[in-house]
Amino acid sequence: MAERDHTWSAGLKPDNPHDSAHLHVTGLARYADDAPEPSDMLHLAFGQASETSARIVSMDLSAVRAAEGVVAVFTAADIPGENNTGPVRHDETMLADGEVVFPGQPLFLVAATSQRSARKAARLGKVVYEKRPAAVSIAEARKAGSRIEETQRMARGDCAAALAAAPQRISGEFAMGGQDHFYLEGHICVATPGEDGQLHLLCSTQHPSEVQHLVANLLNLSSADVTVEVRRLGGGFGGKETQATGFAAAAALVAAKTGRPAKFRVDRDDDMILTGKRHEFEVAYQVGFDAAGQILALSLHLASRCGASQDLSPAINDRAMFHVDNCYFLPDVEIVSERLKTNTVSATAFRGFGGPQGMLAIERIIDHVAIALGKEPLEVRVANLYGPGRDVTPYGMMVSDNIAPALIARLRSDTNYDARVRAIEVSNAASPVIKRGIALTPVKFGISFTTTHLNQAGALVHLYADGSIQLNHGGTEMGQGLYVKVAQIVADVFAVPLTQVRVTATRTDKVPNTSATAASSGADLNGMAAHNAAMTIRERLAAFLARLYGCRQGDVAFSLEGVTAGEERMTFAEAARKAHIGRISLSATGFYATPGIQYDRAAHRGRPFYYFAYGAAVSEVAIDTLTGEHRVLAVDILHDVGRSLNPLIDKGQIEGGFLQGQGWLTTEDLVFDHEGRLLTHSPATYKIPTASDRAKHFVVNLWDGENIEPTINRSKAVGEPPFMLAISVFSALNRAIAAAAPDGREMAQLDAPATPERVMAAIAQFASP
């Protein structure tokens, strides 16, 4: 079934609202914290380390145990199984076991009768430390030789020779900060003990199966003894892919030890301190090019701050390497990636998963080349696009679906880009204080987990005798519209109204061994698995009705008007009832594994992605050269989602992704002190974009095309690619800053995020000494 060309067949309208929209706006959507609390519920808090790197000499927790409301206190010694919440390397403890590796690290766990009591008591621990040398910054980790793995190198051709022979060469460096996920619902887990040692976890996680497996290992249970349930998340963005496990494990430990239900609802400050962020990167480059701006050679060095444990850093940094080409052919290239281990909270998955960092690097380089040549940056971009004879990535994958040139050309024309460039130049010449900038930047983003075995999904479909359908799959709903998309697929298979399909909460006891809902693959994987399950039932129905009415199976048809079998007509509910009476199984599982992908990580060669999703954005900005403040004036987006499963949902994802990317590049400034303590750990000090940051002119259009690969409905993923459209804002800011230079031909040093302070510092570089 995976090879079929799957398109809408029943005439169903894809523009359906989010399945929980009516519940969200009425306040009836139930999250983990909305579940009724039994009278014996325990509430939890971690006691956190105050040091950055140290040996724990002693912990006196007597005051904690004696505090009001405290029922129990646990340390690493109370964990019956493996003290680990790390997803891959098993190098991250739930509770510190003798040493501290980052400030805020959990040392002990408090269970009390209220959340306030638990949090107050957690601050009463008396810990004696023996401090050790710490590496907080990228530079300190490099000096100490502290890495999570060996430095990786991806290359093609002879970069050094091509650089030496290039007619023109420039070099540069810049840094980009991390980003907090700032989901509206913080981390939470409710653990309820069952009979015979079993546990049920109601959890806010993107990866229920990982929580299940790691909790089972921590408690010396089998995975079958732990059930993880997720109905919906109040946002995830990658922050609940691995980071939910520590809180879930803590709740599970307390429930298992006390026999009482336990809830860990994390305070916002603690959530920001305890959980990982987007990786910070430092970038250095040398680029050789010709008079047309065509890149002939690129030597690129990426260094990231990975934090105290491995988490998903190898895969994230790999994806950064995969995306430094973006839409551009790099003939002779060397990409070196350093993955530094630091005494800070471990960095983790975030929307784009390293792709934004790699893509920002090449777009900054393109801007630098354009300024050096005095050329329009878009002309330089177009000169470097993939094309015939120039269609293989640095890691050896063919770019077979290269719609970027046509997409860029259409957006350029539709937005009157060239005329706007000329108008801005006139405006800037007449305005000494307000400088404007405009940029059109493209996106080419690979879709699939780069860890190949994760590209699989399962689903369970039940058809009841009254014609109603229940659907369950391994994907989690975090606001992105996955549930409604997959429900549409199942409704289409049976040719019934969408209201006839009920999606139930994701549970590890219904669909086992699932991958995280991540890598923009939720609809691709779970949609196809659900389609395969539904098709199994439909084929059983068709075969039964053909036998019953003496016609060929191919003469059984499903439509919105009902089911026909030869000359016989009936409603879908009647067909289901007949099949039930005829003892036909009306339940089926479905499975899907992405075909055609393979990758040799040691050689950094292969086809890690099933396909590419494309997009482009034009952003226009204005800066105040006296204050460094800026405003995004206009945004026009043309984005490729193939043949959309749900245009309404997809457009919402594109707009939301863009705004989140804009926040990363302009306002969301994570500040750590010299000891690695996070200083920006609340909305008072950390500025996410708000409605007022959205450009008044904001237009999103979908590219009219389809996936060349046989995905469900020939659609393409939409979760992560739009995030990188916001690089157009950063490029436009660079251009506005360059307009403040005496000749407009200087590339100012500008790190991301482009806060007013950094914009002012960039402008100050043009001042006469």
CB burial of 711-734 (b: ≥16 within 10 Å; e: otherwise) equals bbbbbbbbbbbbbbbbbbbbbbbb
Question: Shortest CA distance to 470 belongs to which of 487, 455, 453?
Answer: 487
Residues in the chain: 769
Sequential DSSP letters for 582-626: TT---EEEEEEE--S-EEETTTTEEE--SEEEEEEEEEEEEEETT
Identity of residue 170: I
Identity of residue 318: D
In which residue are the tokens 């380089």 written?
365
The tokens of 91 are what? Answer: 């190098």
The tokens of 621 are what? Answer: 């900005």
Proportion of the chain in helix, strand, coil states, percent, rounded to 5: 35, 25, 40
3 state SS for 512-525? CCCCCCCCCCHHHH
**Rounded-to-integer distance, Cα 533 and Cα 490, Å:** 9
Helices (H) and strands (E) in the chain, counts: 19, 29
Q: Are the C-beta atoms of 480 and 656 separated by less than 8 Å?
A: no
Q: Are the C-beta atoms of 536 and 458 separated by less than 8 Å?
A: no
**Rounded-to-integer distance, Cα 405 and Cα 403, Å:** 6
Question: What's the chain's Rg over C-alpha atoms?
Answer: 27
**Rounded-to-integer distance, Cα 302 and Cα 362, Å:** 11
Specify the DSSP class assigned to residue 37.
Answer: P
Q: Are the C-beta atoms of 289 and 168 separated by less than 8 Å?
A: yes
Specify the DSSP class assigned to residue 52.
Answer: S
> Mind telling me the catalytic residues?
720
Helix (H, G, I), strand (E, B) or coil at 221: coil
350 - beta bridge partners?
none
**Rounded-to-integer distance, Cα 229 and Cα 204, Å:** 9
709 - beta bridge partners?
none
Question: Shortest CA distance to 321 belongs to which of 296, 284, 351, 358?
Answer: 358
**Element holding 540 (H helix, E strand):** helix 522-549
Strands 188-193 and 262-265: antiparallel
**Rounded-to-integer distance, Cα 750 and Cα 733, Å:** 9
Greatest Cα-to-Cα distance within the chain, rounded to the nearest angstrom? 93
598 contacts: CB under 8 Å, gap ≥ 6: 452, 606, 607
Query: From edge to edge, which strands make up the β-sheet containing 42-48?
Result: 70-74, 106-112, 42-48, 262-265, 188-193, 199-203, 226-230, 506-507
CB burial of 614-635 (b: ≥16 within 10 Å; e: otherwise) equals bbbbbbbbbbebeebebebbbb
